[in-house]
Amino acid sequence: MMAWLRLAFGNLRVNRRRTAITLLSVAVGVGGLVFIWAFIDGINAQMINNMTGYVTGDLKVHQRGFHDDREMNIALAERRNLAGEVSAVTGVAATTPRVMGHALASGADQSRALQVMGVDSATEPRVTRLDRSIVRGRYLAAGNEILVGVDAASALDVSPGDELVLVVQAADGSIGADRFEVVGVFETGIKRIDGFLAQMPLASAQALYAFQGRFTEIAARVQDADQLDQVVGAVRDRLQGHDVEVLGWPALMPSLVQMVAFHDAVAYIVIFVVFVVVAAGIVNTILMSVLERSREFGVMLALGTPGSRVVWLVLLETTILAGLGYLLGLVLGLSLTGYFGRYGLDFSAYIKAMDTMPGLSGIVYPTIEFQRLVVIGVVVVSVALLAAALPAWKASRNSPLEAMGARRKVINRIRRIHWQVTSDHRLLIFAQMALRSVFRNPRRSVITGSATAFGLAAYLFLYAFADGFFEQMIQNSTQQLSGHVQVMEAGHAVDLSPALRIADSPTLLRQLRARPEVEAAAPRVVLRAMVANPGKSLPVELVGIAPEQERAVTELAGYIEQGAYVQPGDQGVVIGRKLAEELDARLGDKLVITVQQAGGDLASGAQAIRGIYRTGSDLFDSEYAFVDIEAARRLGSLQGDEASRIALRLSDRAGSAALARTLNKSLSGDGLVAQDWETLLPVVVQMVEMSQVDFYLILSVVFVVVAIGVMNTMVMSVMERTRELGVMLALGTRGAQLLLTIVFEAFFLAVLGMVAGTLAGGALVYWLNQAGIDLSSISGALETIPGITDRVYPVLMFDHVWLPSLLLFLCSVTVALYPAWRAARLDPVEAIHHG
């Protein structure tokens, strides 16, 4: 064995250039895979750490049934001292009691629905770290104090020292209200927390919700996050007989688990594509490396070396090359990951998009997981061995004379074919010589061109997947609610205040419908509200619509799953399937809807559920409720034909920005503004932009891997032909002519690769466009992504793929310059004696 190892290392040292090229191909591929996977794992780790660190803790104890029903009367009695019982369990670092509820918070002129946490200010900081995120004021002490996030404070226009009025549905079903002083403002960088979470002292929350002597939950922090399951089991054992449920964060936040699963699913798609590209580069390099040594293997066979030994030697050398390349790739990938793991990747420009991913802030820190490195290593070595096995086996079965003389026979045969193909065509001499080289060794040409083909096919698939994802998001979001353009009074998009209204909406509707680009227009009244039944209350956006006019603008009527769509003059409400499940409500049940009126007073009304819709997006299905526009006007104290907004549907979505600009010029004197769908749906736009940044990052890695692969195969191709090139130089071919010939050859190979890649990638995208990519297994992850359903249909957009395709083509040609330059500088005598 040692003898064979010495021989293998000796062979690798003899041709250092070939060894270096192969190592470079493997190392760049491995480094790219390590970084991409670390980037995706970093997103997942940050979401988990932030949500458990700021809000939930690692585990919670509830009275049995609370987690499913969320009814406050399913409570833990304070006298049972369950917090002390949980603290005594090995592995639990700290515990804290809480009261969780929802409230409609009102400042001087604004209102907002908040999730309220009543906390023990002495023990809460041991479980979560929200107290360390205060940017103004101080943490909680006692009394009627409240701590709000920076975005909630901005929306409510409050600062430390100001007062908020909170209206809630108490545990006994009554409506409770009280005033609270804002003592602090926190900032976590997570919109979902900064905009909709508030903390108050535990005793104040118990008084507000009529909850004296009871808790909704006990939260705990564990000492070792990797031992969470064991600690949860131990707490369950400890609390047997108390009729409680003990849940770790995965059970508490299934949407977060599903979001991680969604990222993993997308990651596996992307990683698989990158693996294919990396594997293609490794296969090409290894194949060229083995094929180049046909004469060497012929000499070994002539000297009596058994064919099995030749195969063994090639596989041993390949294992060494793959192993060393893997180690070098680890160094490259870990160095890159370590740098960004320390300084982070700044995505703060896309902070609204981050809001769709619970717990994600503006700076992402890549994270290394050991098992990923093992998978990459196993795949890379396996691919390299498979790539070397077939050509090594074929070489071992050739006779020595065939192995040493095959080149001349192939050249003579292909020259005759080439002459028959090209003799009647008038081509530039250098193009003829390049075509001759391409035709003469089709196996080498296929190997070289396949690097470009795999790269282009990977590009087309990734872009089609991304564009299909984004197009579905935009199409569904505009069809379900926003329309293409909305007109409203300036400022209404920020706070939905009923005081901001369009006074003469019928006249404006007639003017807007008269525009040629407008297909339909519909008035709306939009209010922030709380909906409640006897057991629970939740925040929603209440939308009053004129049913028949709304049908022409959006397609909500087509999503009705039970009951009926909103009817003119009806006193019923239509809610989403997710909201109905959270409220445990059915058709015919009555909901109490509470809103802040234009004058600042609170108003409530009871509405029966007339319909339940399901769009496939749980985000939409849980946050919007629809009533007849007249009922919304009465609740919000709007008069006559007043409306909050007018929504427009255009004949061409692409014209929305231009129409909004035109309308803003004509409406500015009336205090009205027009906003296109991109302004109305910043979350969607920023998700598209952020995801495009992600894809550009991934595609950049793919681009580098493809470029290195193409360059390696071109260099190998030139090295394989060293003797031939030496003969050409000896016969008087100038170096510049040889360089131009090789560049022409690279051009033709790039064209062939681009054609093959376009056909392969286009066929794959077409098939998936018809069948769709089924994401139903992770549908829960899609609930926070607006407009996305559980099946994505890839779509190719020429405007998006022509530039990267052109760059890939230019790259495939440009990388030939180095091997061409090397060939032009060959010494004819040394080249003829090569190999």
644 and 501 Cβ atoms separated by less than 8 Å = yes
618 shares its domain with 728: no
C-alpha to C-alpha distance for 372 and 676, rounded to whole angstroms: 43
Two tokens, residue 433: 């010589």
Q: Which amino acid is at 565?
A: Y
Residue 281 has pLDDT above 80, yes or no: no
Residue 419 has pLDDT above 50, yes or no: no
pLDDT of residue 192: 76
**Does 529 reside within a domain?**
yes
Min mean pLDDT across 170-179, 413-422, 449-458 is at: 413-422
Higher pLDDT, 439 or 112: 112
C-alpha to C-alpha distance for 493 and 680, rounded to whole angstroms: 8
Query: How many Å is the maximal CA-CA distance in the chain?
Result: 103
Position 350 confidence tier, pLDDT thresholds 50, 70, 90: low
pTM of the predicted model as reported, rounded to 2 decimal places:
0.64
Instruction: State percent of the chain over pLDDT 90.
Output: 26
192 shares its domain with 99: yes
84 shares its domain with 20: no
C-alpha to C-alpha distance for 248 and 220, rounded to whole angstroms: 9
Q: What digits encode the pLDDT tens for the residues 122-153? A: 999 999 988 988 999 999 988 899 999 998 99
Residue 8 has pLDDT above 80, yes or no: no
Most confident of 25-29, 68-72, 200-204, 398-402: 200-204
pLDDT of residue 410: 40
C-alpha to C-alpha distance for 499 and 527, rounded to whole angstroms: 10
Q: What digits encode the pLDDT tens for the residues 59-101? A: 999 998 888 777 777 888 888 888 889 999 999 999 999 999 8
C-alpha to C-alpha distance for 684 and 696, rounded to whole angstroms: 18
In order, the DSSP letters of 94-105 are EEEEEEEEEEEE
Q: Which amino acid is at 474?
A: I
For residue 788, give the nearest of 564, 528, 466 by alpha carbon: 466
- Residue 658 buriedness (CB in 10 A; 0-12 / 13-18 / 19+): middle
135 shares its domain with 232: yes
The DSSP output letter for 502 is: B
**Does 421 reside within a domain?**
no
- Average pLDDT of span 21-36: 81
557 and 605 Cβ atoms separated by less than 8 Å = no
301 shares its domain with 391: yes
C-alpha to C-alpha distance for 427 and 424, rounded to whole angstroms: 9
* Length of the chain (residues): 835
**Does 630 reside within a domain?**
yes
**Does 252 reside within a domain?**
no
Position 289 confidence tier, pLDDT thresholds 50, 70, 90: low
Q: What digits encode the pLDDT tens for the residues 305-349? A: 676 777 777 778 778 888 888 899 899 999 999 998 888 877 666
In order, the DSSP letters of 34-64 are HHHHHHHHHHHHHHHHHHIIIII-SEEEEET
Which residues, in sequence order, are CB contacts of 211 under 8 Å at separation 6+?
72, 75, 99, 118, 170, 171, 205
Map tokens 């990651």 to a residue. 267
pLDDT of residue 422: 39
Which residues, in sequence order, are CB contacts of 185 under 8 Å at separation 6+?
134, 135, 136, 137, 147, 148, 149, 150, 153, 159, 160
pLDDT of residue 426: 41
Instruction: Among 343, 371, 398, give the residue marking a domain's end.
Output: 398
Residue 499 has pLDDT above 80, yes or no: yes
Q: Give the up-direction half-sphere exposure of residue 626: CA atoms within 13 A in the CB hemisphere.
A: 28
The DSSP output letter for 533 is: E
562 shares its domain with 662: yes
Residue 626 has pLDDT above 60, yes or no: yes
599 shares its domain with 657: yes
For residue 647, give the nearest of 553, 518, 565, 567 by alpha carbon: 553
| 249-269 residues labelled b (16+ CB within 10 A) or e (exposed) | beebbebbbbbbbbbbbbbee
Q: What digits encode the pLDDT tens for the residues 241-253? A: 888 899 998 888 7
Residue 729 has pLDDT above 80, yes or no: no
Other Cβ atoms less than 10 A from the Cβ of 333: the count is: 27
**Does 476 reside within a domain?**
yes
C-alpha to C-alpha distance for 257 and 47, rounded to whole angstroms: 10
664 shares its domain with 688: no
Helices (H), 643-734: 656-667, 677-680, 682-720, 722-730
Position 683 confidence tier, pLDDT thresholds 50, 70, 90: low
70 shares its domain with 217: yes
286: Cα separation from own chain's centroid: 34
pLDDT of residue 407: 47
Residue 214 has pLDDT above 80, yes or no: yes
Q: At what angle do helices 307-343 and 294-302 cross, to 10 degrees?
A: 140
The DSSP output letter for 212 is: T
Map tokens 């006074």 to a residue. 503
- Strands 573-576 and 197-201 turn out to be unpaired
- Average pLDDT of span 712-733: 72
**Does 434 reside within a domain?**
no
pLDDT of residue 413: 40
Two tokens, residue 605: 């009304």
53 shares its domain with 69: no
The DSSP output letter for 80 is: G
Which residues, in sequence order, are CB contacts of 502 under 8 Å at separation 6+?
487, 488, 489, 508, 523, 642, 643, 644, 645, 646, 672
**Does 409 reside within a domain?**
no
pLDDT of residue 685: 73
Q: What digits encode the pLDDT tens for the residues 774-783? A: 776 655 555 5
Higher pLDDT, 420 or 376: 376
- Residue 798 buriedness (CB in 10 A; 0-12 / 13-18 / 19+): exposed
782 and 775 Cβ atoms separated by less than 8 Å = yes
Show the domain range for 830: 441-482+682-835
Residue 483 has pLDDT above 70, yes or no: yes
Q: What digits encode the pLDDT tens for the residues 178-191? A: 999 999 999 887 77
**Does 251 reside within a domain?**
no
Mean pLDDT score of the chain: 80
Residue 55 has pLDDT above 80, yes or no: yes
For residue 111, give the nearest of 675, 579, 499, 624 by alpha carbon: 499
Residues paired with 248 in a beta bridge = 59
In order, the DSSP letters of 284-352 are HHHHHHHHTTHHHHHHHHHTT--HHHHHHHHHHHHHHHHHHHHHHHHHHHHHHHHHHHHH-EE-GGGHH
Other Cβ atoms less than 10 A from the Cβ of 124: the count is: 24
What is the total count of domains within the chain? 4
Instruction: State percent of the chain over pLDDT 70.
Output: 79
43 shares its domain with 126: no
Higher pLDDT, 293 or 679: 679
Residue 213 has pLDDT above 80, yes or no: yes
Instruction: Among 398, 416, 449, give the residue marking a domain's end.
Output: 398
In order, the DSSP letters of 746-791 are HHHHHHHHHHHHHHHHHHHHHHHHHH-EE-GGGGGGGGGSTT--SE
80 shares its domain with 28: no
Cα separations in angstroms, 552 against 416, 480, 545, 657: 69, 12, 12, 20
C-alpha to C-alpha distance for 14 and 24, rounded to whole angstroms: 17
